[in-house]
Structure 1
């Protein structure tokens, strides 16, 4: 069956995979290895026009050498791409090759709008089994109906959801955010640093994306200001395999309790690379403190002192490095005072003196949330927004037959690969 002929599956499929990024492709490849037939037993639904997942939307200035590594898909080594080539092109080409070589049944564009779970007749429900434990799952998997934006439907015994986070950008609320007259954009809307040459840009966020933006904007001639909610979480820990296992374990501990996953940097910290050390020494990667509120033409920070000059703590690791000369970076150079004016807090509960500085642009490098709105009919979210995951890290405790990959501990490319394989194994086991 070709992609064009697969508009709506009338038969009951074994598995529908939603998403064709790292996790979704890893799952699809494992389904093949487990003996499932493409198109007859499973399909992969992708909202994009072509291969690459979220990577195809990344800005061209994010080159492969700055992308913090892409883990190999099972059975197809990435080899050594040109480090200066945009990561979006490298990954899109790599994913496309994987799809073609394996003959994966990818349907695109197919943006999923809803997933509905139908419990099989006779399976207990809260009404028919009132003495069951709270949130107890039905003993039978039932079936799922997956519907796309153009009205096509697929029915399946199991669903592997691999939709990632790219479609759910997060911008926190700050007083005055609606009154700002300059430009505001999120990581998702960034295209090129040269768009901001000569402008004063506030970058908000404590992750590696914020670091990359700051360095690129500075190189393009923009005037940058960095704001973080707390001191940046720099770490000089060696990133080895045991470190990665420990990070995944800490994230899994939250998701098995139904708590929302923390940001990546909250679990990993910011690596002290030579590039970032140089940024610290130059002052570009110096946080000027938390953002308190936004005015029509600027922002109010509580990091600078009364003259806009002192630099707040950058955390124990960075403070130690800067005080000792920053190794090869040569130590911290003079960080100029922020232009603007001192101002008092708006409320008596917040009496600190703050500093208002003018900005033309606010770039929100504040991360993403899991893209799970299409799963709302299945009612898997807890009151706090998280999802209770089983001990295997991929099974949704409240909905047998539904698997989440690229969520929580499997949000990284290496974690997504492992989770995709694991979800495929569990889906085949559930079907059989």
Structure 2
């Protein structure tokens, strides 16, 4: 049947939504049930489809990269490298009017390139800046709004679990180069940062914001001198990118290293090198923790449970849906709709944003990432622009009422009622970010890749 894959996708989405929103159980469990549900559409071939899907997922390097970044984030926190990086940015921005708000943007962008988690971004940056912002004159509800909205940079910058999920779809990975996607998402993240800087500047003029100097006896130079080695962690991302993209890559390729450079996978080497650098830079603080199996079992291993299950079963379901003919069915449906490109992009943007309201960005893209990609490409959007714009749409998850974890984290840190942030979050973050994604998909905002 031509539309078997489409019907299977609808059932898959329904199972995940019911499990997450009605039954309120673990998302990984919902993904497993969704995998079983779509496999049932294969009839007597269910066992073969299940096995093929799981084997494909287990050999997907995206799964490794996602789990590796969890280890890296754990090592950065436990080694104290994060605190050193924060101290540097505090020293650089703390004396500027509105400094805490700009620092919150900086931290969220920085951690977006490290952790890829909206909620983690909100918790980390908010813990460091929320009360500082209130002390300098920001209203608590605005503080909560900015902290939750800026947390969306966790999914707005590469690498992120959302990016990995999109690359895990066979149709996407066959059309989009991982290096170009990494740079494209980085550029789109910069667009989001620029918008947030203008937003903070605008809100600052509406309030009587004062400068309160950071509580430190050390000069900016002394703080940087004391903590600069923590910045070496970024070499883990810079080195693989320089070797695979740009002038250095071209120069080395001209000297007979093209084949070797092409074998370098950013998804594999960026987290691997960052883990190695974390261990080197923070070994004195880490050795008693990483060598203690009980400590790891209590603090590290539980973090694998949800994200590992979500990605494993999501990729397996993607393979099953592909084998059921999802791509052909969706292509025919979008061809029949025959909507203008601008309208098609807008409708898909709204669909992704609405689903991102109650779900996380990863769950959103697991559910409708492939259908959004197929819709955009069928409307004439180039594959790279399609993936980047979808990731931008999904990054509104941190600012989307009513069920975003970032909203409740930020509200608790600023000690305000979450409901007071719903309207400003939609006005200041959800709608503008949707527009940024639309402009990227339409080719108006260039990605330079």
Answer yes or no: same fold by TM over 0.5.
no
Which is higher, the Rg of structure 1 or of structure 2? Answer: 1
TM-score, normalised to structure 1, is 0.25
Q: Which has the larger strand fraction? A: 1
